[in-house]
């Protein structure tokens, strides 16, 4: 059971000290009193809206009061906020800030960890390309690996087989790169040539390039 403070727009004055009209007042046995006379004058007002800040302020405050106002149309009291000790509010604000900073630091650590994983994976992918295709230029191998391992892309590097550096998955990525980069495949597609026809037309050329890459350049 918490103390209740009423917010009022009426011309109500304190029964004890006569000050008013009172925006915030306490009713004791139906008698209105100002916050000072009710020994709540030292509290500060925290409007509702931030659940974590409200909860922490209330927990840290040895004295607190709920501020309500009667909503005529809804015919019920509605909670507007909380009166809490200034020091409690300050502490709650510090705690909430520390929380959000901790969350930001955790996000940054996660981001760095993922970036490091991606870098390691891309390097391993490129190394596997070079192992399978020793004649593939090193910069091409890196470019293919980077392209294949873009996070969230659904590309072969993000599939289970790709993550495991499965030989056929790596070969599929290299073949796709050769098709797009070393042949006029994309131009054929743009010109309206059906995909399978374009692939069939270029298959021998692609095989020749891949065969060339399978051995070390002499
Ligand atoms: Zn008073």
Per DSSP, the three-state class of 66 is: strand
Report every protein residue that has its C-beta within 5 angstroms of ion ligand 1.
14, 16-17, 34, 37
Q: Please give the Cα distance from 155 to 119 (Å, whole number).
A: 16
Which 3-state string (H, E, C) describes 36-74?
CCCCCCCCEEEECCCHHHHHHHHHHCCCCEEEEEEECCC
Give the Å distance between the CA of 18 and the centre of ligand 1.
6
Give the Å distance between the CA of 79 and the centre of ligand 1.
23
pTM: 0.56
Q: With CA atoms as reference, report the closest residue to 198 among 183, 182, 177.
A: 183
Give the dihedral sign, CA 76/80/85/87. positive
pLDDT in tens, 56-95: 999 999 999 999 999 989 999 999 999 999 999 999 999 9
Q: Which secondary structure element, helix H or strand E, spans residue 110, and what is its range?
A: helix 86-132
What are the helix (H) ranges across 133-151?
A: 138-148
Residues of the chain falling short of pLDDT 70 = 1, 151-154, 156, 161-162, 217-218
Q: What is the dihedral of CA 169, 173, 174, 178, to 10 degrees?
A: 150
């Amino acid at each position: 059971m918490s103390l209740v403070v009423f917010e009022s727009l009426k011309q109500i004055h304190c029964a004890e000290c006569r000050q008013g009209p009172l925006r915030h007042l306490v009713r004791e046995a139906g008698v209105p009193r100002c916050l000072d006379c009710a020994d709540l004058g030292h509290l500060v007002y925290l409007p509702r809206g931030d659940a974590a800040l409200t909860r922490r302020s209330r927990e840290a405050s040895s004295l607190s009061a709920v501020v309500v106002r009667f909503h005529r149309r809804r015919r019920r009291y509605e909670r507007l906020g909380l009166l809490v000790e200034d020091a409690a509010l300050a502490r709650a604000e510090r705690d909430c800030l520390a929380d959000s900073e901790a969350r930001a630091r955790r996000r940054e650590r996660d981001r760095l960890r993922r970036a490091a994983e991606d870098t390691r994976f891309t390097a391993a992918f490129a190394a596997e390309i070079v192992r399978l295709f020793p004649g593939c230029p090193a910069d091409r191998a890196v470019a293919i690996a980077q392209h294949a391992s873009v996070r969230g892309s659904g590309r072969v590097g993000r599939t289970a087989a790709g993550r495991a550096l499965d030989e056929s998955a790596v070969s599929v990525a290299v073949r796709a790169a050769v098709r797009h980069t070393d042949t006029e495949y994309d131009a054929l597609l743009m010109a309206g040539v059906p995909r399978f026809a374009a692939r069939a037309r270029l298959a021998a050329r692609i095989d020749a390039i891949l065969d060339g890459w399978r051995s070390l350049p002499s």
